[in-house]
Amino acid sequence: MTATLSALSFDNRYTRELPGDANESSQSRQVPRVAWSPAAPAATASPRLVSVAAEVAELLGLTEEQIASDEFRDMATGNLVLPGMRPFAMRYGGHQFGNWAGQLGDGRAINLGEMVTPDGSRQTLQLKGAGRTPYSRSADGLAVLRSSIREYLCSEAMFHLGVPTTRALSLALTGDQVMRDMLYDGHPELEPGAIVCRVAPTFIRFGNFELFAAMGELDELGTLADFTIREYFPELWPGDGAPTPDTYVAFFKEVVHRTADMLVEWQRVGFVHGVMNTDNLSILGLTIDYGPYGWLEDYDPDWTPNTTDRNGKRYRFGNQPGIGQWNLAQLGNALYPLIEDAEPLQTAIDGYVTRFRAGYQRMFAGKLGLVEWDTERDEPLMVDLLALLTDAETDMTLFFRGLAEVPIDGSADDRFEPLRNSFYVPDQVTAVVRDAWDEWLARYAERVQADGTSDAERKAAMNAVNPIYVMRNYLAQLAIDQATDGDFTGVNELLDVMRNPYTEQPGREQYAEKRPDWARTRVGCSMLSCSS
């Protein structure tokens, strides 16, 4: 076993095969006709590693000795570029809140290189908050501790929940202070700077394609599409190495499917991304860019955690599936020059609804503990349930765990009992609301009886898809408060709880509790801004 990192192997396909910027400076600029610009991570004052996700280290084949080394700390904070790495910032554009925003690019993320892991798979390492790049515009390229903790914990929580996502290898303090106006209200303050090392096969986004298309850089668009298909969708790459319009249509269809599948998973666990701009949608269908995201606590399809989105609520929970399709339409437009036929693209976009609906129904059947979805019977059962969940403020996560405990052959009181704990305000459960629940539970019982599933079987099946632990907004905030005082035990404990989100962990009941009242309106718990 060696502690040194110099033996790690890198093979940087993105920078090798796609056109890059000849200018090495980090000065903000428009960079036509390139897929990337060189970017050097900034040295930091006194780097300190505060958490490493062991599973991600293992995925990369990193040993404990390597992780414990000063070299690793320096690499994970941009203070050491290993031989074979080729640090770069991607150039991409995007639609932000529905409007075309032109060139954006990695303004506070620097890709270090593409690592070839011992099992031969490849993972790109990327530092978020490692300093300025040509795409930083007027901003500093840095990230603060609170948002870095949120990204670090949530990436890993999502992975353990079974949701497609980018990963996070490490969380580190830079030792530098960063000025931030948290709510954009004219109160800037110094905050501790931090860096998360993110990991994904690639960080290519819808916006990478969109920018080439918008600028009329069609040769580059074709080169990027060919690269992406060949390297990340090899099953679609034609044997003769000569892609046709059909190849690009098949690629688009696959992205449509993956995006629909990802949205189903978000809706299953109650995740609200908060900034579903097209520059924040991964071409691989991974959840990417954890910023002002939030988790549904009381079930409310109109909720958005992002204060920047407060007016239009474009990215509210219930709107996410539709936005997924809207974003795909922008990607479809970008790919059009390679296909020059709108019809197959339109068919693929329409296919999103079919794919999403089928996935959503399967998912919801699972949440309810039904063997199979039967639209005629189950659609009204679901619609009525979702309405009931908003009648009295109901914790989504606790509700579905409670539903798994409902005795099908019990009395109305017996059936209602396991749900009691999921209501935020007991007084809201009026006689009328309670009657509605009794009626719904009776229909549910009848439906389960038709399946013939035992209570025990149903509970086991439901608890495998309805998590008990999710990254509740206030839990992350408590860990942040503690970390800001220099204590990272809360961060590491939360990471550990989220490793097994479907299994009750004795002694950790406090992580499965409803949001306390103080968190209802506190910044960071219910309100977040893009500023990080």
Identity of the residue, 76 or 275, whose beta carbon is nearer to ligand AMP in the bound complex: 275
Q: What are phi and psi of 9, to 5 degrees?
A: -110, 135
Residues 6 or more apart from 166 whose CB is under 8 A from it?
A: 155, 198, 199, 200, 203, 282, 286, 287, 288
The interface region with ligand AMP, picked from 105-113, 222-230, 246-254, 424-432 by CB under 6 A, is 105-113
Determine if 107 is a binding residue for ligand AMP (CB under 6 A).
yes
| In the complex, least distance from residue 106 CB atom to ligand AMP, rounded to whole angstroms | 5
Cβ neighbours of residue 347 closer than 8 Å, sequence gap 6 or more: none
Q: What angle do CA 369, 372, 374 make, to 5 degrees?
A: 110
Close Cβ partners of 372 (under 8 Å, ≥ 6 residues apart): 365
> Which tokens is 318 given?
């219930």
- 128 or 515, CB closer to Mg ion? 128
Query: Angle 375-391/342-368 helices, nearest 10 degrees?
Result: 70
Cβ 41 to Mg ion shortest distance, Å:
18
Q: Is 193 in the site for ligand AMP (CB under 6 A)?
A: no
Is 279 labeled as catalytic in the residue annotation? yes
Minimum CB separation from ligand AMP for residue 88, in Å? 13
Among the candidate windows 99-107, 342-350, 430-438, 498-506, which touches ligand AMP by CB under 6 A?
A: 99-107
Residue number with CB closer to ligand AMP (129 or 501): 129
> Of 135-143, 319-327, 433-441, 479-487, which segment contacts ligand AMP by CB under 6 A?
135-143
Asked whether 367 and 461 are in contact (CB, 8 A), the reply is: no
Measured from the CB of residue 291, what is the shortest distance to ligand AMP in angstroms? 5
Give the DSSP per-residue string, 126-177.
Answer: EEETB---TT-TTS-SB-BHHHHHHHHHHHHHHHHHT--B-EEEEEEEEEEE
Pick one of 139, 179, 383, 425: the residue that binds ligand AMP (CB under 6 A).
139
175 contact partners, CB below 8 Å, separation of at least 6: 44, 45, 46, 47, 48, 193
Provide the mask over 269-288, with x wherever binding to Mg ion is found by CB under 5 A and - wherever it is not.
Answer: -----------x--------
Least spacing, CB of residue 277 vs ligand AMP, in Å: 6
Instruction: Please report the DSSP string for 261-299 in residue order.
Output: HHHHHHHHHTEE-S---GGGSBTTS-B---SS-EE-SB-
Shortest separation between residue 107's beta carbon and ligand AMP, angstroms: 2
104 contacts ligand AMP (rule: CB under 6 A): yes
142, 221, 470, 475: which one binds ligand AMP (CB under 6 A): 142
Say how many residues touch ligand AMP, by CB under 6 A. Answer: 17
What's the token pair of residue 356?
């999403």
- Which one of the spans 215-223, 274-282, 329-337, 383-391 is the region binding ligand AMP (CB under 6 A)? 274-282
Whether 292 and 530 have beta carbons less than 8 Å apart is answered as: yes
Does 291 contact ligand AMP by CB under 6 A? yes
User: Could you say whether residue 289 binds Mg ion (CB under 5 A)?
Assistant: yes
Of ligand AMP, Mg ion, none, which one does residue 298 interact with (CB within 5 to 8 Å by kind)? none
The residue (of 74 and 289) whose beta carbon lies closer to ligand AMP is 289
Contacts 24+ apart (CB under 8 A), 326-331: 326/98, 327/95, 327/206, 327/259, 327/276, 327/278, 327/281, 328/206, 328/255, 328/256, 328/259, 328/352, 330/95, 330/206, 330/210, 330/278, 331/206, 331/209, 331/210, 331/252, 331/255, 331/278, 331/281
Burial 103-123 (b: 16+ CB within 10 A, else e): bbbbbbbbbbbbbbeeeeebb
Confirm or reject binding of residue 135 to ligand AMP (CB under 6 A).
yes
- Residue 319 found at the interface with Mg ion (CB under 5 A): no
108 interacts with, out of Mg ion, ligand AMP, none, CB within 5 to 8 A per kind = ligand AMP
Compute the distance between CA of residue 290 and CA of residue 268 in angstroms, rounded to an integer.
18
Residue with tokens 């690499």: 75
Residue 182 binds which entry of Mg ion, ligand AMP, none, with Cβ cut-offs from 5 to 8 Å by kind? none
Q: Is residue 208 a contact point for ligand AMP (CB under 6 A)?
A: no
Q: Does 105 bind ligand AMP (CB under 6 A)?
A: yes
Catalytic-role residue among 21, 74, 106, 279? 279
Q: Cβ of residue 33: shortest distance to Mg ion, in angstroms?
A: 22
Q: Where are the beta strands (DSSP E) in 329-452?
A: none
231 in contact with ligand AMP (CB under 6 A): no
User: Which of 20, 38, 93, 141 forms a contact with ligand AMP (CB under 6 A)?
Assistant: 141
Closest approach of ligand AMP to the CB of residue 198, in Å: 12
CA 261 to chain centre: 13
Q: Which of 44, 66, 280, 397 binds ligand AMP (CB under 6 A)?
A: 280
Residues annotated as catalytic are 279
Residues that bind Mg ion (CB under 5 A): 280, 289
Residues that bind ligand AMP (CB under 6 A): 104-108, 135-136, 139-142, 275, 277, 280, 289, 291, 530
